[in-house]
């Protein structure tokens, strides 16, 4: 605390008690949010929303640029950030490929090298089937897959991605074998599903509800720990209720380059917390039926480590881990 100038100390003094326990220091100059997804992907949309709120609500004065370094399962993005140890002007967007790509390629874990800052948004998933399907619940699907292993097909995103992991978890929990068909993007997978070519497809809650409302899909289960409360979604039972013990949530966060000054990391964690406390952020979460559990710094580290374990277990089981 002695190092802080008076102005910063005053700001800190006004800030929450927890924050004052830690040194905080603002980075200087323009900031890059590195995103491993292309423009338009979910991580891209999330980080652009964050940047917009930070700048427009005056939470962060530094100009923020969202930079898409897409391709190669986010490794273009994370390799860029890993090569900038101590850099105070670059943050890496953490999405599942940042965890799974190193596992699949047999390269060193990324999450163990970067400086964890925050995990701040989660999306629950639902399992959909075609609207004309005879199945009325998850157990009907399990029965069909048990009777003829491998005949029930899932259209999902990239190999080793979220949909693939969720498929693996369901296979393990129900003791069945499904045929997973990877696609270059979630949109392409949805086209395969809507064209009636496969039986199963995963969707986020808001995407899934759009399909259900339009009569182009039928829900089998949500992969959450408890039912949602929103009208419409509340009627969809969880997988656990139906005897398939799977809880799986997609999540996103941010980390800094390796050896980032803890004071800067703490400053960022505080800024992300402030974003999640704005009404605009909360409205966005509600509209998209997303969850906003917030994990900062050490909590984030523990949280990310646990998620990485899940990925490693499932990918090993599917046979993708190196």
Partner 1 sequence: MIDALLQGFAVAFQPGNLMFIFLGVLVGQIVGALPGLGPAAGMALLLPLTFGLEPVTAIMMLAGIMYGGQYGGTLTSVLINVPGEASGVMTAMDGHAMARKGRAGAALSIAAIGSFIAGIGAVAAVAVITPPLASFGLKFNAPEYFLLAALGIIATGSLGQAPIRSLLAGVLGLTIALIGVDPLTGTPRLNFGFPALYQGIDFIPVAIGVFGIAEVLASLERSEKIEPIKTRLKDMWLTAEDWATCRFSILRGGVIGLFVGIMPGAGASVASLLSYLTERRFSKHPERFGNGAIDGVAAAEAANNSAAHGALIPMLSLGIPGSASSAVLLAALILHGIKPGPMLMAQEGALVWGLIASMFLGNVFLLILNLPMAPLFAALLRIPYTYLAPGILVISLVGAYAATLSMGTVWMCIAFGILGWLMMKFDIPRAPLVLALVLAPLMESSLRQSLLLSLGSPMIFIERPIAAVLLVAVLFSLIAPIVRVMRRRDKVKA
List contacts with partner 1 (CB under 8 A).
Answer: 38-41, 44-45, 48-49, 51-52, 56, 66-69, 71-73, 75-76, 79, 104-105, 150-151, 153, 158-160, 179, 181-185, 187-188, 190-192, 194-198, 206-207, 210-211, 213-214, 216, 284, 287-288, 320
Q: How far is the CB of 197 from partner 1 (least distance, A)?
A: 5
Cα–Cα distances in Å, from 90 out to 13, 19, 93, 102, 292?
Answer: 27, 22, 10, 21, 23
- Least distance (Å) between residue 159 CB and partner 1: 4
Which tokens hold the place of 137? 């619940």
Pick the closer one to partner 1 by CB: 34 or 240.
Answer: 34
Q: How far is CA 207 from the centre of its chain?
A: 15
Structure tokens at 83: 């090569």
By beta-carbon proximity to partner 1, the closer residue of 43 and 116 is: 43
CA angle 205, 119, 94 (to 5 degrees): 85
Q: Whose Cβ is closer to partner 1: residue 38's or residue 175's?
A: 38
Tell the smallest beta-carbon distance from residue 88 to partner 1 (Å): 20
Shortest distance, position 67 Cβ to partner 1, whole Å: 7
**Nearest to partner 1 of 107, 302 (CB atom):** 107
DSSP classification of residue 149: T
Q: SS3 letters for 208-266?
A: HHHHHHCCCCEEEEECCCCCCCCCCHHHCCECCCCCCCCCCEEEEEEEECCCCCHHHHH
Q: From start to end of 69-199, where are the E strands?
A: 90-94, 115-129, 153-156, 179-182
Query: Please, what is the minimum distance in Å from the beta carbon of residue 176 to partner 1?
Result: 15
Give the C-alpha distances (Å, rounded to integers) separating 1 from 12, 13, 19, 23, 60: 10, 11, 12, 6, 22
Q: With respect to partner 1, which residue has the nearer C-beta, 16 or 39?
A: 39
Q: How far is the CB of 173 from partner 1 (least distance, A)?
A: 22
Q: Which is nearer to partner 1, 233 or 296 (CB)?
A: 233
């Amino acid at each position: 605390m002695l190092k802080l100038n008076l102005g910063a100390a005053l700001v800190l003094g006004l800030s929450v008690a927890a924050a004052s326990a830690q040194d905080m220091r603002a980075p200087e100059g323009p900031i890059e949010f590195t995103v491993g997804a292309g423009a338009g992907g979910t991580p891209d949309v999330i980080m652009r929303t964050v940047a917009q709120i930070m700048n427009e609500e005056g939470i962060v004065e530094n100009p923020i640029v969202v930079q898409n370094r897409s391709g190669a399962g986010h490794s273009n993005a994370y390799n860029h950030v890993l090569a900038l140890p101590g850099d105070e002007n670059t943050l890496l967007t953490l999405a599942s490929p940042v965890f799974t790509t190193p596992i699949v390629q047999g390269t060193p874990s990324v999450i163990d090298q970067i400086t964890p800052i925050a995990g701040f948004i989660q999306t629950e998933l639902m399992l959909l089937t075609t609207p004309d399907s005879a199945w009325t619940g998850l157990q009907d699907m399990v029965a069909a897959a048990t009777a003829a292993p491998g005949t029930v097909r899932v259209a999902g995103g990239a190999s080793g991605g979220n949909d693939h992991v969720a498929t693996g978890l369901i296979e393990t929990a129900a003791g069945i074998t499904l045929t997973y068909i990877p696609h270059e993007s979630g949109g392409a997978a949805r086209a395969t599903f809507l064209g009636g070519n496969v039986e199963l497809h995963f969707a986020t809650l808001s995407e899934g509800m759009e399909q259900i409302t339009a009569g182009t899909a039928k829900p089998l289960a949500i992969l959450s720990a408890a039912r949602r409360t929103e009208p419409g979604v509340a009627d969809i039972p969880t997988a656990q209720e139906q005897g398939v013990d799977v809880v799986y949530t997609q999540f996103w966060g941010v980390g800094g380059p390796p050896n980032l000054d803890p004071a800067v990391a703490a400053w960022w964690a505080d800024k992300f917390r402030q974003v999640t406390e704005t009404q605009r952020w909360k409205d966005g979460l509600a509209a998209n039926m997303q969850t906003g559990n917030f994990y900062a710094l050490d909590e984030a580290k523990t949280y990310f480590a646990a998620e990485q374990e899940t990925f490693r277990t499932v990918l090993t089981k599917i046979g993708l881990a190196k």
